[in-house]
């Protein structure tokens, strides 16, 4: 690699960024269960079998951190919100500009955990003991923005309340052995055309992150998608996370130039919203262009990843995308070691 880029990069890794699609067998059994045609034991076995397949796909591809696939998450906010007192699960709302929906959390009272000891948010039973585990949770800002608040005085108070609850779940996950914590924050960067997030909002989101994730004994990431990451710069550089996840299908590379990141960057280069399987060589070229464009700006680690949750794709296509993520990272490591 020219210009001595390998002098300052200490890691090129890869991982998944969110919910994995359910295989056809699990979808079929889930429907049968909802219609009373099969029992809970059969349903639980189907979830276990599918989770093992997701874990195997990640481990066989050599991903640095392995997640459970979040197959039991009905949408990107549940089951987190379902485990809270003070929340009523409301009607369907569109998940940003996608053809998918989520149940809007309606805040009716003081938020607290229903059962702090075992909220069953993350499936650790099927995670291999010999690999590093990754936990994926919604970020406080996105939780607040996508909730209907009928209790707290304003969104800021709700953001910080969510941050304290997220912190409790993170601390629990770290104690269980998780080495990487991702907070997903699409609402922070998703804005309709001609609209921009205010500096005050970015500051509030950063303060909430500090409350939720600051100082935890695990590697941490704020994963953004569905919007241009540049609009939250330079404030995002001070966020208390190790890595910043960027959706490069929404972010202009030129807008990142000149900033001193001082953090790792998760390159969202595999498109989770498109069924076309990317060519490894083409993504390697793009990744190198990004790396060169910010060379010397303090980035010490890069992770290859999908730009958002893979659940937008069919099961088989998602498996192919996992392999692409792994192969791009491997090719980059080989070239950087030359």
For residues 128-144, average pLDDT: 97
Residue 137 has pLDDT above 80, yes or no: yes
Q: How far, in Å, CA of 224 to CA of 245, rounded?
A: 6
Percent of the chain topping pLDDT 90: 84
What class, spelled out in words, does domain 2-336 have in CATH? alpha beta
Residue 337 has pLDDT above 50, yes or no: yes
Give kind and range of the element (H or E) at residue 161. helix 155-176
Q: Tokens for 198?
A: 């205010």
Q: How far, in Å, CA of 36 to CA of 134, rounded?
A: 34
For residues 67-73, average pLDDT: 96
Higher pLDDT, 118 or 248: 248
Q: How far, in Å, CA of 228 to CA of 184, rounded?
A: 15
Torsion (CA) 79, 82, 84, 85 in degrees, nearest 10: -170
Mean pLDDT rounded to a whole number for the chain: 92
Neighbours of 336 (CB within 10 A): 15
Q: Answer for the pair 166, 220: CB distance below 8 angstroms, yes or no.
A: no
For residues 20-43, average pLDDT: 95
Alpha helices by DSSP H, 69-154: 140-145
Residue 152 has pLDDT above 60, yes or no: yes
Q: What is the pTM of this model?
A: 0.94
pLDDT grade, residue 118 (50/70/90)? low
Residue 10 has pLDDT above 80, yes or no: no
Name the most confidently modeled range: 33-42, 111-120, 194-203.
Answer: 33-42
User: Which pLDDT score is estimated for 259?
Assistant: 87
199-208, 233-242, 249-258: least confidently modelled range: 249-258
User: Which pLDDT score is estimated for 3?
Assistant: 44
For 170-199, write each residue's pLDDT tens digit.
999 999 999 999 999 999 999 865 577 899
What are the phi and psi torsion angles at 81 (to 5°)? -70, -25
Place of tokens 């080495």: 179
Percent of the chain topping pLDDT 70: 93
Residue 232 has pLDDT above 60, yes or no: yes
């Amino acid at each position: 690699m020219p210009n001595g880029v390998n002098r300052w990069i200490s890691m090129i890794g890869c991982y998944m960024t969110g919910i994995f699609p359910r295989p056809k067998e699990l979808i079929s059994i889930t429907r049968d269960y909802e219609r009373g045609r099969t029992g809970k034991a059969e349903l639980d076995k189907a979830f276990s079998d599918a989770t093992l397949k997701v874990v195997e796909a990640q481990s066989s591809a050599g991903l640095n951190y392995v997640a459970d696939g979040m197959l039991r998450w009905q949408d990107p906010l549940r089951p987190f919100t379902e485990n809270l007192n003070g929340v009523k699960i409301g009607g369907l709302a569109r998940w940003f500009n996608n053809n998918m929906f989520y149940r809007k959390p309606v805040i009716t009272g003081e938020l607290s955990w229903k059962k702090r000891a075992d909220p069953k948010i993350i499936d650790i039973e099927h995670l291999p003991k010999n690999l590093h585990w990754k936990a994926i949770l919604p970020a406080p800002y996105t939780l607040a923005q996508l909730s209907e608040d009928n209790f707290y005085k304003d969104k800021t108070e709700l953001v910080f309340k969510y941050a304290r609850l997220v912190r409790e779940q993170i601390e629990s996950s770290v104690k269980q052995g998780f080495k990487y914590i991702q907070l997903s924050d699409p609402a922070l960067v998703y804005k309709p055309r001609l609209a921009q997030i205010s500096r005050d909002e970015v500051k509030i989101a950063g303060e909430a992150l500090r409350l939720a994730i600051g100082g935890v004994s695990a590697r941490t990431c704020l994963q953004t998608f569905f919007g241009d990451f540049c609009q939250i710069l330079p404030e995002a550089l001070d966020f208390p996370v190790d890595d910043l996840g960027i959706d490069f299908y929404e972010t202009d590379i030129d807008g990142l130039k000149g900033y001193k990141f001082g953090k790792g960057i998760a390159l969202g280069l595999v498109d989770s919203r498109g069924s076309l399987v990317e060519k490894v060589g083409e993504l390697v070229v793009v990744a190198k262009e990004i790396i060169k464009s910010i060379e010397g700006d303090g980035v010490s680690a890069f992770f290859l990843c999908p730009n958002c949750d893979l659940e937008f794709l069919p099961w088989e296509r998602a498996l192919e995308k996992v392999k692409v993520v792994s192969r791009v990272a491997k090719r980059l490591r080989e070239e950087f070691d030359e």
